Structure 1
Amino acid sequence: MVRGAIALYNAAVSRPELIGVGETELVALAFKVWDGSRTGNSITVTQVAFTAEQVAQTCKLLPEVQALTNEAAAKMSAMRLTATPQNFGIAVHTEVHRQITMRKLLAPVQYGNVHPEMSISAGGLTSVDDDDVYYGQVETSRLDVYERVNATTACIYDVKTGRRGLSLSRTTDLVSRTTNIPGSLM
């Protein structure tokens, strides 16, 4: 089921018109994760197209992160001729990180729950809240942008600059690690 949802998500992102996603809709992959007392751990995965208004109700930063990514890619577009795809991606990610960090400094209350380039351990420790975890540490996963909406909801923005979409292993890793983050992370 997860593999199918990821395939639909990647198709909707790369060719939205073929799946019927309108120009004003944003594609999202949503997970609802809970620990069932009788059945053990459970994960529900859905892939849907939301309107911009629906996304804004929960993941308020998505339009801004997308705009920052588009602006960074345009700013670095000359690099595409000479740089490797990896170096181009690093440049775009670095610019998005710089822009969000600047916003956090200028508006700390508004962006207090937003963390660019955060690393997370398998146990849910993050480079934001634990001195023993640092960005890019071995056996951690790097999150491009993490937005903690409330104690039970978080939005993860995985910036893409090439043709690859989300893989099953990356998606599974993000879900399993982020479900362990304490709800108080701000």
Structure 2
Amino acid sequence: MSRLTNDRHAQEIAALRTELAGLAVGVKLIRLDHVLSCKYRPDQPRAPAGQSDGGRWVSEGTDGASEAQSQTEDSVLEDGSRVLSIRIRAKPHTDWDEQHTVTGPDGTRTVFETSGLTQTIRDGDSGEILARSRLTQDGAEPEAFVQLARSRPRPSDDLARRFARALEAAGSLFSVLSGQNTKNRKAIFVAPASEYIPGDAYDHRAMWVGAVGQTELDQLCPRNREVQAIADLVAADVRASGNYMDEQDFGNKVHVGIADIIRAMRDPNFDAEISYDPITGDKVIYGTKGSLRLDTLEHPRPSTVCVYDHKTGRGYLRSRRAVDLVSAAQKRYPDATTFIAIEIRAGQ
């Protein structure tokens, strides 16, 4: 067989693979459209408090006492991002038990598939794996994955842009999941040590976002219960005093009260109400115009920094702020490799 014939044969195979990949994406879009037709409604029943899935949505026709086979939620954020979540509740899926598809304001889709404590992040259009990591007590550890033969290596600058968008998508997903926090499960955003730099390997930029139980949270950020208890105590005291003008003033007084208690401990690895220059990461005077405020910081290990964001009203942690919080902490602790963002809702 001539070389020309071999080249033509290889081209035909490549064309068939491309066509199959396109069909696979088409099928996924059809499935997505089907799921989107089942709109999330705020009056959809929830499982009762006290159960392992208490507060989570359940299917119609159930009393919440038993888990549904699957649950679907569709959320739209203030910036136009959309998060479609599918959870398998009874019969485990072959590949994942939670899947979240995040569509950014520009239409870029990123898919987060979680199986246990392992998470795979994919390009929502091509299906290409962008990263895979497993959550451990030391943070997110990267895991090796096999890329399909039809996938072509991305140029480093394109990969940098795609990773940055995935980081923004992770912030959007974290924002949605934080709004679903329960007493026994909280959303966390384990961000990479830095944003993607062309030429760098993936090894040090493992990323994980999802809800974890109290045991996992205690291993990652040992003082999370203490932070929650302080926030609850201060919120109750301020509310009981009645010494506030409105809900915004109430929130401000709660933030100040939490900071006073934590600062009084004089623990260098436990600090509150710190303002940073968002560009340099330098600590500045509290309230400096243009500065970024971090509510509470816990530095349990040299490699780990936990960033707590306190909420007192109906507001939620916006995706851009989630990324900014981690970015500021990275500049403050350049030697750390794991940064974990957690929302703490005072009084709840």
Q: TM-score, normalised by structure 2?
A: 0.42
1:47-126 equivalent positions in 2, closer than 5 A: 47-78=209-240, 83-104=245-266, 111-121=267-277, 122-126=279-283
Counterpart of 1:8, as a letter, is V
Decide whether aligned partners of structure 1 residues 40 and 116 sit closer, same or farther in structure 2, where only a CA change above 3 A counts.
same
Task: Name stretches of at least 5 consecutive residues in structure 2 with no aligned partner.
Answer: 1-168, 337-348
Q: Which residue of 2 aligns with 1:150?
A: 301
How many angstroms apart in 2 are the aligned matches of 1:182 and 1:142? 15
User: Which residue of 261, 270, 286 corresponds with 1:135?
Assistant: 286
Counterpart of 1:24, as a letter, is N
1:60, CA displacement in angstroms?
A: 1.5
Task: Name stretches of at least 5 consecutive residues in structure 1 with no aligned partner.
Answer: 17-22, 105-110, 127-132
Q: Which residue of 2 aligns with 1:11?
A: 179
SS in 2 for 1:76: helix
How many angstroms apart in 2 are the aligned matches of 1:76 and 1:102? 19
User: Which residue of 182, 190, 205 corresponds with 1:30?
Assistant: 190
How many angstroms apart in 2 are the aligned matches of 1:10 and 1:184? 27
Contact 2:171-2:322 at 8 Å conserved across structures: no
Decide whether aligned partners of structure 1 residues 9 and 45 sit closer, same or farther in structure 2, where only a CA change above 3 A counts.
farther
Question: How many residues were matched structurally?
Answer: 165
Contact 1:150-1:183 at 8 Å conserved across structures: no
SS in 2 for 1:116: strand
Aligned CA RMSD, in angstroms, stands at: 2.8
Higher helix residue share: 1
1:85, CA displacement in angstroms?
A: 1.2
Counterpart of 1:144, as a letter, is D
How many angstroms apart in 1 are the aligned matches of 2:174 and 2:268? 30
Counterpart of 1:2, as a letter, is A
How many angstroms apart in 2 are the aligned matches of 1:124 and 1:76? 32
- Give the structure, 1 or 2, with the largest relative contact order (CA under 8 Å, sep 6 or more): 1
Report whether the alignment pairs 1:168 with 2:319: yes
Contact 2:193-2:330 at 8 Å conserved across structures: yes
1:119, CA displacement in angstroms?
A: 0.8
1:103, CA displacement in angstroms?
A: 2.1
Contact 1:115-1:146 at 8 Å conserved across structures: yes
1:61, CA displacement in angstroms?
A: 1.6
SS in 2 for 1:138: coil
Contact 1:93-1:144 at 8 Å conserved across structures: yes
SS in 2 for 1:159: strand
Contact 2:234-2:254 at 8 Å conserved across structures: yes
Decide whether aligned partners of structure 1 residues 25 and 148 sit closer, same or farther in structure 2, where only a CA change above 3 A counts.
same
SS in 2 for 1:33: coil
How many angstroms apart in 1 are the aligned matches of 2:185 and 2:323? 25
1:181, CA displacement in angstroms?
A: 1.7
How many angstroms apart in 2 are the aligned matches of 1:43 and 1:4? 18
Counterpart of 2:270, as a letter, is V
1:183, CA displacement in angstroms?
A: 4.1
Contact 1:146-1:155 at 8 Å conserved across structures: yes
Q: Highest CA radius of gyration, 1 or 2? A: 2
How many angstroms apart in 2 are the aligned matches of 1:174 and 1:4? 13
How many angstroms apart in 2 are the aligned matches of 1:65 and 1:176? 21
Identity level (%): 25
Decide whether aligned partners of structure 1 residues 84 and 43 sit closer, same or farther in structure 2, where only a CA change above 3 A counts.
farther
Contact 1:147-1:156 at 8 Å conserved across structures: yes
1:39, CA displacement in angstroms?
A: 5.2
Q: Which residue of 2 aligns with 1:2?
A: 170
1:6, CA displacement in angstroms?
A: 2.8
